[in-house]
Structure 1
């Protein structure tokens, strides 16, 4: 079997590990008996970026780039640099119980702000935050991305890979590299890595991309040929377990014909071919294997491990496309197995905190998990996302709180029944009121996701949703004594593959022609006949 390494590239938040590669590794090793290594280069990148060595170098470059200052400005700059050079202490605070001391946490946060201020000022248009790495190239434009791949001044991944990673591939004679691309900010780093591997690592015979985001790009934006295939050999679409196993099997046999590998997008003779698609009906219930990830480097005081109890989503909201990139039907694990996986991870890695990454963690199944945890006497803490439901009650939320649940995320989307019905949310406003009331009174903070500007939504309806979410936060803090409830909203975006995209007439929408320049943009412009427009969504 090819010597295999799976990589999570930079461009993601470094607060905790992403689940995809540990799940693939456990499946390949336990079910298929293939040895696989994994590495999280994202957290390695941030650990190096926010290191004394790098910050000191950036401070020196910052001083050399400035000629003269007023005495006040000079003093301010010196104080910022002095603070930034304590970056290793700030990391120690974030990775220890010192984080829970408010003064120490604020001290560390200030150091990180100052360090990023200095780093961003000498990074030639690259902007770093804890949620993204934004290069001065358009992530939605193939020509821009291709241009970035050799730009050593504006593409920091080139030097990072050459110093920190390529030597490992060469030394270990890795033969297969799989790169997970789950968001747009990972795209340039992923293709940069593929290019460098092709140029400098002759042992590697095959480079494949996989992940939710690259699946959607391959589905909707890659038709006949794409320049990425100058440096990659394939894209694994949808769930990766079986396609990756069959791909490794084909490569091991020396078969250059990859037409038999399901869900694979690959190139031959200057054309792209998308193999037969299999709809997954099984759920991978192996225990995720995080060995290979530097678990001590995540920027959190206690290790939080992601887990899931189901795949796909049983609802089909009109605006959503993410489950479509998973493939297959909604399927779920027995809750007893979910609890067993949590116990196994606790035993192996010492973690007590779990983040459920299900598209929707059903309320009834949350209650079943709570029963398992409460009966065991174990001290676990967890959070997850669910839907409003008439089956959730005060007693259920009390049990869930007792089991260690410390946040529930709800896809509110709108507080208007007409808009909810149009969105195909299958939610009632009275369920929303009752669930939030009972959840907060049980002591569980909520996070409310919602959007503004769904087709035909009026300004009054949008304001009603905004007012409702503000009232929830006030009620949470002032009445229930739960100060940690939050909300987050975005403007509605028309995404390729959604029901609105597929049936625009049903929603009173006219889709605008897509820019040829931004050929990789999944969100498209549109005109709505009624309701808010793209320009009127900035509601204060």
Structure 2
């Protein structure tokens, strides 16, 4: 069992890079080594400057499902670190260049919240008259019950869900054309009571077909680094190179998965657009950025919409490379997979989750392991790379279920159906069906404390009593090796630290499913 990648032809540890890059991959090899060097620099920054530093997420524990504002408030009151000083300098430089009256700060994840508040802190200290607004995925998910007035020492307004309608209403308010009571999905601090108020005048959202084309105007697109931290060719897509981000549709057309936040607007409200309009947007983005790589960041891009998009791209002769998230459903026939490949599709990612038909049904995923095998194989046969989102720790999942799941995953790699994967530990959220109806899944929720700030994850008690953390180490270790083509002929039980039962999965289950 390998903790890290070792070249099977050179197990004494000479050089794994020729296996990954071949004789001609000199630039890729240099990028990988430079990325490893950057990771070393990050370690130094953590040790010498700020223990919370990370490139991808920064001080996320201060805000992720954090019921109280105290930890973040204390961090913001502390002397600035070297990174804080750089961020302040960049913020003031931007203010000097653009002289804005209104600044919008988007926080997609908890790991961007501390930086967002430091930016707002710098703005208010230098130019208190500038109006600041907080929004983004973190707000939409975790601050829906915001009751902490100190947030408004930094931000004048906090808006929920799609930003277009709340911001149009806010702009009218700031221009004196709309009263405060007619704001849309907006938190404010009441000046009389110093309490947080949520104001929402129900108005229709801007249709997806009318929201306009994303723009990167003003960003130095040639100045961003492409990093290559993992040798797997599919895995590198997330960080190597720059992709124009675009959505095929708003929300999820399926919106049934019980682990997902389907009660939230960005998932639960599905709204599509014509393929001709999507290709118009693609052409406009290419004209602006000069780059033809696209990442469709839908929760799950609809098969019908992807077919129409592919046909429109081919009809117009628009040559792009694209990849995106899908559901591994039977609509993705070999014919459709080939059509998508012809239109420029180079990779897809989708959820196999727990790789157990019983648990997939409990999740209301709408797929089976056999079906996933056939769909992923069809994509691979069309020359499209496939990444599988995997999950462990779902309610009622047993040790035996986990061993079976790893055997399914091993066979999928062995058959060439998937090239990459990632195991996520299931987290129960208050917005998911599991969090809303735990009794249907045989679990009991751990009571939450009083919430004044962030609310999302909620602990639960599963009567199976499985140590999923211990199992997760084995799953991730096995998967890392599988992604490098290693250990595919090894009994899956050898990856686990403790003795586990023999898999109940037939040895050639996936191979037989592909022949059926």
Q: Same fold (TM over 0.5)?
A: yes
Cα gap change, 1:172 to 1:258, in 2 (>3 Å): same
Gaps of 5+ in 1: 1-97
User: Residues 325 and 447 of structure 1: is their aligned pair in 2 closer, same or farther, counting only changes over 3 Å?
Assistant: same
Aligned CA distance change for structure 1 residues 111 and 161 (closer, same or farther; 3 Å): closer
Is the counterpart of residue 152 in structure 1 residue 79 in structure 2? yes
Q: 2:261 aligns with which of 298, 321, 336?
A: 321
Name the structure 2 match of 1:306: 245
More divergent stretch after superposition (114-123 vs 403-412):
114-123
Q: How does 1:326-365 map to 2 (within 5 A)?
A: 326=266, 329-365=269-305
Residue number among 189, 199, 202 corresponding to 2:125 in the alignment: 199
CA deviation map 1:413-440 (0-9, x unaligned): 1222211111121223332121011111
Is 1:321–1:498's contact at 8 Å kept on the other side of the alignment?
yes
After superposing on structure 2, the runs of 4+ consecutive aligned residues of structure 1 that deviate more than 4 Å are 135-139, 515-519, 533-537
Partners of 2:97 and 2:422 in 1: how far apart? Answer: 46
Which secondary structure state, in structure 2, belongs to the residue aligned with residue 165 of structure 1? helix
The equivalent of 1:89 in structure 2 is none
| Contact 1:125–1:135, Cα closer than 8 Å, also in 2 | no
Query: Partner of 1:372: helix, strand, or coil?
Result: helix
Give CA deviations for 1:63-86 in whole Å, capped at 9, x if unaligned: xxxxxxxxxxxxxxxxxxxxxxxx
How far did 1:404 drift?
1.4
DSSP 3-state at the match of 1:343: helix
Matched, 1:217 2:126: no
Question: Aligned partners of 1:238 and 1:337: how far apart in 2?
Answer: 23
Q: What is the aligned-residue RMSD (CA, Å)?
A: 2.6
Q: Which TM-score applies when normalising by structure 2?
A: 0.77
CA offsets per residue over residues 472-508 of structure 1, 9 Å max, x none?
22322xxx8xxx8210111111111111111111111
Deviations 1:447-474 (A, max 9, x none): 1002101111122222222222232223
TM-score normalised by structure 1 residue count:
0.74
Contact 2:107 2:139 in 1 (8 A): yes
1:367 matched residue in structure 2: 307
Distance 2:289 2:257 in 1: 37
User: Pick from 378, 400, 416: which aligns with 2:318?
Assistant: 378
Q: Which residue of 2 aligns with 1:236?
A: 159
8 Å CA contact retained: 1:385, 1:409: yes
The CA deviation at 1:519 is 5.6
Unaligned runs of 5+ in 2: 1-23, 227-239, 475-516
CA distance in 1, matches of 2:396, 2:86: 47
Alignment coverage as a number of residue pairs: 431
In the alignment, the residues of structure 1 paired with residue 471 and residue 36 of structure 2 have an alpha-carbon distance, to the nearest angstrom, of 33
Query: Which secondary structure state, in structure 2, belongs to the residue aligned with residue 313 of structure 1?
Result: coil
Select which of 195, 207, 220 maps to 1:282. Answer: 207
* 1:99–1:192 distance in 2 versus 1, CA, 3 Å: farther
Supply the distance in 2 between the matched residues of 1:499 and 1:190 (Cα, whole angstroms).
31
Q: Which stretch has the larger CA shift, 286-295 or 135-144?
A: 135-144
The answer to whether the 8 A contact 2:310-2:343 is kept is yes
Partners of 1:181 and 1:213 within 8 A in 2: yes
**2:403 pairs with 1:463:** yes
Q: Does 1:250 align with 2:173?
A: yes
